[in-house]
């Protein structure tokens, strides 16, 4: 550990931890779902709330207070819950109580821990799933459901597009077989569950539809209005959107109680996390069914409400944006920041490496949505992030981003 690396890590990680506490204290998501979201959605070794307990709630509180005194940024002011926990002596794992409860250094059940009989159940029968879209995410979702034993009707705009989905799934299965992760004998069964279509009318009898089309609200609301017309009564209508308001999709239908978010992470066959996002109108039995379905297909479901960023993006992108601002200050170069975060925080990628993988245009769009939603000056997109996008340096997909891949 070097002093410079530790300082970089503190500068970027402390606000992220503070955001996570505020998300929890607002009741937006449970402590377990916040931590699971960052572990399974970003590959972090430990969730933010567990990190605070391990570090010491008082230590984190004091470090944030010092940072707030230096910057005056309200996002750096220690969350009220941190102050409350310190006042109560709940200073983390070493004290036996923090955000979680501990015995011999291990988390134990407390009043907030879900009971064994609270596991979600399928309140709606799900046997046939519809998927709208033919891109990477849609194809991955088709594969997830088919491998889990569900019949899947998938809809694209042309025969060529839907044929591409099947070819992509065959290729994926062949890779898994070659690596010993899938049985050759099961390949035929998976492919037999696939039904391609070029008309949405083919979705008339499915039990649940998952849309994975363009992140364009007008396009999505048109689709949901059409699904409302086509799909049988009782069918669940889900969107994979990572950023658009699900309520707007629900409002385009006559059944807002049946509309829900199922935000899969890319690549869907590999990534474990699904953010299950409810609107004020989503029925409890629909929410429970979707969470149970996620478990049935081998995913980890986390629950949250319909606001910008959900859990993962709302915590991840302000941290990435802060990294750009830190680089703008001129004290550290991009590689130094990347390496410091990997070494000190244990994150699998540095912030600039991750920005380039996600796509700087996507990252900028998400940061703009977070700024618009929460109105915090500290969430304003970094000038350099705006600049690299304006210059077409979008990341790995263009060969250049913050780093050069040419």
Active site members: 242, 263, 275, 313
Is 217 exposed, middle or buried (CB count within 10 Å of its CB: 0-12, 13-18, 19+)? middle
Phi, psi (rounded to 5 degrees) for 132: -105, 120
Helix (H) or strand (E) holding 290: helix 284-296
Who's near 91: CB < 8 A, 6+ residues apart? 56, 57, 58, 85, 98
Cα-Cα end-to-end distance for the chain: 32
Phi, psi (rounded to 5 degrees) for 367: -65, -40
| CA–CA gap between residue 295 and residue 297 (Å, rounded) | 5
| CA–CA gap between residue 303 and residue 221 (Å, rounded) | 23
Distances (CA, A) of 279 to 209, 213, 238: 17, 20, 12
The string of DSSP letters for 155-198 reads E-SSHHHHHHHHHHHHHHHHHHHHTTSS-HHHHHHHHHTEEEES
Distances (CA, A) of 221 to 134, 208, 246, 256, 365: 18, 17, 9, 12, 19
> Is residue 191 a contact partner of residue 170, using CB atoms and an 8 Å limit?
yes
Total number of residues shown for the chain:
406
Is 25 exposed, middle or buried (CB count within 10 Å of its CB: 0-12, 13-18, 19+)? middle
| CA–CA gap between residue 130 and residue 162 (Å, rounded) | 13
């Amino acid at each position: 550990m070097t002093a410079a690396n530790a300082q970089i890590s503190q500068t970027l990680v402390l606000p992220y931890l503070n955001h996570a506490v505020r998300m929890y204290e607002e009741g937006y998501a449970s402590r377990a779902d916040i931590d699971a979201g960052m572990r399974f959605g970003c590959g972090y070794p430990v969730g933010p709330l567990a990190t605070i307990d391990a570090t010491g709630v008082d230590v984190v509180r004091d470090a944030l207070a010092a940072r707030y005194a230096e910057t005056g940024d309200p996002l750096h002011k220690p969350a009220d819950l941190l102050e409350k926990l310190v006042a109560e002596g709940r200073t983390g794992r070493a004290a036996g109580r923090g955000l979680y409860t501990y015995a011999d250094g291990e988390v134990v059940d407390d009043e907030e821990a879900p009971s064994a009989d609270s596991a979600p159940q399928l309140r709606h029968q799900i046997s046939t799933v519809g998927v709208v879209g033919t891109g990477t995410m849609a194809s991955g979702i088709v594969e997830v459901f088919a491998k889990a034993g569900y019949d899947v009707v998938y809809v694209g705009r042309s025969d060529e597009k839907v044929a591409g989905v099947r070819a992509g799934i065959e290729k994926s299965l062949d890779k898994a077989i070659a690596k010993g992760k899938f049985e050759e004998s099961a390949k035929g069964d998976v492919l037999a569950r696939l039904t391609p279509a070029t008309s949405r009318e083919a979705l008339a009898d499915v039990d649940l539809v998952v849309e994975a089309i363009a992140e364009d609200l007008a396009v999505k609301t048109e689709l949901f209005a059409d699904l409302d017309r086509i799909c049988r009564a009782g069918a669940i209508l889900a969107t994979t959107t990572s950023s658009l308001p699900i309520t707007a999709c629900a409002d385009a239908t006559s059944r807002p109680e049946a509309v829900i978010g199922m935000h899969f992470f890319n690549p869907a066959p590999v990534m474990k996390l699904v953010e299950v996002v409810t609107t004020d109108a989503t029925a409890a039995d629909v929410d429970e069914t979707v969470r149970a379905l996620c478990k049935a297909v081998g995913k980890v479901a986390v629950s949250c409400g319909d606001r910008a960023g959900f859990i993962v993006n709302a915590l991840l992108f302000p941290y990435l944006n802060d990294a750009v601002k830190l680089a703008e200050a001129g004290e550290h170069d991009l590689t130094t920041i990347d390496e410091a975060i990997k070494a000190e925080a244990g994150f699998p990628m540095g912030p600039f490496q991750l920005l380039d993988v996600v796509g700087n245009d996507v990252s900028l769009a998400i940061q703009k949505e977070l700024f618009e939603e929460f109105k915090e000056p500290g969430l304003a997109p970094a000038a350099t992030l705006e600049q690299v996008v304006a210059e077409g340096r979008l990341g790995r997909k263009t060969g250049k981003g913050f780093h050069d891949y040419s």
